Amino acid sequence: MSIPTPEKRVAAFEKFGFGMFIHWGLYSQLGRGEWVMNQERIPLEDYKKLASTFTASKFDGRRIARIAKAAGMKYITLTTRHHEGFSLYDTKGLNTYDAPHTPAGRDLVREFVDGCRAEGIVPFFYHTTLDWYNPDFNGNFKAYLKYLRDSVEILCTEYGKIGGLWFDGNWSKPGEDWEEDALYAVIRKHQPDAIIVNNTGLSARGEAGNPELDSVTFEQGRPTPMDREGMSKYFAAEMCQTINAHWGFGAKDFNAKSLPHLIETLCACRKVGANYLLNVGPTGEGEIPMLQEALLRGIGEWIGAGRANIYEGRPCGVTGTGKNFALKSGNTLHFYVHDLSVVGDGNVVVADGGTGKKTFTGVGDKIRSVRWTDNGENLAFEQDGDRVTIDCTGYPYGTNLVVRIAEAEIE
Ligand code: GLC
């Protein structure tokens, strides 16, 4: 048995490493999450009225792409249509439940794509497969699937080259024939290089589905290492996560994750070679909430401060103690060290240990020298075969990188 080699598009996707997920739709105006229609049993006739107040007055695709870039993200996956059934794109007459038929009067997917391109960010489209609007979803499923394919065909033909399609909702009818082959054939016909994902949801994390898919998903979880031995094809892995407790805007959701948590999660994903797709929920008017933007910018500053090789760096069989690990790209080996303390005067610094010798095993290379990437300080180390022990100094007073990176020079 052997490990299949990734197709070119899949290998490129893995190197994106870090992306932004955006959940935005009519529901954002209510500020109680994207499932509000379902959870509060709002009748469709009432819910639909949200289209008449949807102005997108603060939606700026370019500004969002700039925030993603500042965060160190390489791609953005936008909900072009979520379970509510409303489309942010021009459905070209498939129905009138779309952004051009609201007071916004614009094709918001076009603005999103243009904004991404201007900033060098790759646009991906999330598209629901579950639909609370179209009566065919429960009445005439075959007709619904045709409508779904026609919708996706618009996305594949109207916006130039896109990064991929991200489906979500097949878990709603597990026994049904979703005619997945026909849906993916539409994409392959127009966008042969697009990544195709179909979220397996909370109950089936990491499971590979249809062979046409390119990545497995780990919704709201810690991705586990993929065992690709003997697989029919190489699947990438992606973990999507909310920045607070909801995907769609939650006006009263104060449960934002902390910056250290987000940095560690990014590291935990890259440790196993998975992409991290971190969600933001813009307001009804289309603006990323300030706190969420600040957290994203913080992650970007961390990536810059430690020159983290999270894009090119791949797992290389090196294991450290605790959360520590290493990534390799070409001839560069980076050790990721967690939980170091700040060194300084005992009256100001809480010295809770954390510094000292850290051991890594499985190091195949002969190490010549090791230094912190953030300040260039050389570190003492010992190597015994594939076992490397680095004497990790603490953070100089005034800094704390949460996860600190030591770069090894290889012989
Ligand atoms: C779930 C939810 C959905 C969200 C998705 C993101 O499947 O139904 O609201 O879009 O997760 O992964």
Same domain, 335 and 244: no
pLDDT above 90 for 350: no
pTM of the model: 0.96
Res 223: pLDDT: 84
- Is the CB of 219 within 6 Å of ligand 1? yes
Specify which residues 363 forms β-bridges with: none
Same domain, 211 and 75: yes
Residues 225-235: tens digit of each pLDDT = 888 888 888 99
Q: Ligand 1: distance of its center to the CA of 200 in Å?
A: 10
Count of domains observed in the chain: 2
Residues 126-146: tens digit of each pLDDT = 999 999 999 999 999 999 999
Q: Ligand 1: distance of its center to the CA of 366 in Å?
A: 45
- If pLDDT is split at 50, 70 and 90, which confidence band does 211 have? confident
Same domain, 176 and 318: no
Does residue 203 sit within a domain? yes
Query: In which residue are the tokens 């300080």 written?
Result: 377
Of ligand 1's listed atoms, the one at least distance from the Cα of 79 is 10
Of ligand 1's listed atoms, the one at least distance from the Cα of 23 is 10
Residues 309-346: tens digit of each pLDDT = 999 999 999 999 999 999 999 988 999 999 998 876 66
Same domain, 105 and 191: yes
Residues 278-299: tens digit of each pLDDT = 999 999 999 999 999 999 999 9
Q: Ligand 1: distance of its center to the CA of 65 in Å?
A: 22
Is the CB of residue 183 less than 8 Å from the CB of residue 210?
Answer: no
Res 353: pLDDT: 53
Q: Ligand 1: distance of its center to the CA of 316 in Å?
A: 32
Same domain, 322 and 350: yes
Res 347: pLDDT: 66
Res 284: pLDDT: 98
Does residue 3 sit within a domain? no
Strand 236-241 and strand 332-338: pairing?
Answer: unpaired
Q: Which of 81-85, 100-104, 195-199 has the lowest mean pLDDT?
A: 195-199
- If pLDDT is split at 50, 70 and 90, which confidence band does 82 have? very high
Does residue 1 sit within a domain? no
List the CATH number of the domain containing 74.
3.20.20.80
Same domain, 58 and 119: yes
Residues 237-282: tens digit of each pLDDT = 999 999 999 999 999 999 999 999 999 999 999 999 999 999 999 9
- Is the CB of 238 within 6 Å of ligand 1? no
Res 221: pLDDT: 78
Question: How would you class 203 by CB atoms within 10 Å of its CB: exposed for 0-12, middle for 13-18, buried for 19 or more?
Answer: exposed
> If you average pLDDT over residues 155-174, what whole number do you get?
96
Cα–Cα distance for residue pair 159/147, rounded to 1 Å: 19
Cα–Cα distance for residue pair 40/284, rounded to 1 Å: 18
- If pLDDT is split at 50, 70 and 90, which confidence band does 302 have? very high
Q: Which of 120-124, 184-188, 344-348, 369-373 has the lowest mean pLDDT?
A: 344-348
Domain hosting 403: range is 314-410
Of ligand 1's listed atoms, the one at least distance from the Cα of 130 is 8
List the CATH number of the domain containing 329.
2.60.40.1180
Cα–Cα distance for residue pair 168/219, rounded to 1 Å: 11
Task: Provide the mean pLDDT of the chain.
Answer: 94
Of ligand 1's listed atoms, the one at least distance from the Cα of 240 is 12
Same domain, 266 and 198: yes
Same domain, 142 and 166: yes
> If you average pLDDT over residues 157-168, what whole number do you get?
97
- Joined together, the tokens standing for residue 228 give 């690709």
Q: Ligand 1: distance of its center to the CA of 168 in Å?
A: 7
Of ligand 1's listed atoms, the one at least distance from the Cα of 21 is 6
What percent of the chain lies above the pLDDT cut of 90?
Answer: 85
Same domain, 43 and 61: yes
